[in-house]
Amino acid sequence: MDVTTACRDMNQLSSQAQKACALFLEECKKQGLNVLITETYRSQERQNWLYEQGRSRAGKVVTWTKNSRHTSRRAWDICKNVRGQEYSDSSFFKKCAEVAALLGITWGGDWNSNPDTPHFEIDQSWKVTTTNAVTDNDLFNAVSTIIKDGVQLTFNAWKRLDLIKLNNVPALVCKLAGVEIDGSVSDAQYKQAIDKLVLLGAISQRLIWDEKRYTVNNVRSLLIKFSKLG
């Protein structure tokens, strides 16, 4: 396929991503969200070509990296399937993101650095679970355990993926690490907390946390790992 042409074929995704994408589309449809897939698999040549747009080639910058999960067949892009509203309806993408969160799918719009609103992806550990779209039992139990162990968390703020607010995460990591804060979290306090959580083994992908590129799924993993440290 020519580098200028986007592949929209779900069958070109990995078997995991095909399942994830199909579930995502099914749940979006149930909620009345009219989703159109705009790209699935992307060759490295196309990724490089897109990266050069707005840099060595004229045009608006459309990607910030040469490394993408599109090239490993684990990502897809969408738009609203309504002419004239393809990318302008922010509430549409947020509702799609809520569906994705419940399915364990990462939304690019959650990234603090270079957010990518139309982008959805999975990591290699993603799998279909029997957990329903309302209650994530592992997360629910993890938060319950952490609170029982004495960490002062608001249960309803962390018990489900769709309730997690990323702007509250710096305070969360400080509470988990036992770093006292008074109001807003300073950079030094945040770093101290991350240092402690890395040493405890609750955080393994440090760079994501240092750069605050974590998603709700990263927060979920942190809470579950932390609950098992006891």
Cα(105)–Cα(126) distance, integer angstroms:
8
CA dihedral 211, 215, 219, 225 (to 10 degrees): -90
**Predicted pLDDT of residue 130:** 45
- Domain segments of the chain: what residues? 10-121, 137-227
For domain 10-121, give the CATH number: 3.30.1380.10
Distance of CA 67 to the CA centre of its chain: 16
Task: State the average pLDDT over residues 215-224.
Answer: 90
CA distances from 83 to 88, 170, 221 (A): 11, 39, 38
- Give long-range contacts, CB 8 A cutoff, 24+ apart: 26-30: 27/99, 27/102, 27/103, 27/133, 28/96, 28/99
pLDDT tens digits, residue range 89-146? 999 999 999 889 888 899 999 998 889 999 999 999 888 764 434 457 889 899 999 9
Q: DSSP letter for 113, please.
A: S
**Predicted pLDDT of residue 101:** 86
Full-model pTM: 0.57
> Tokens at residue 124, please?
């290699």
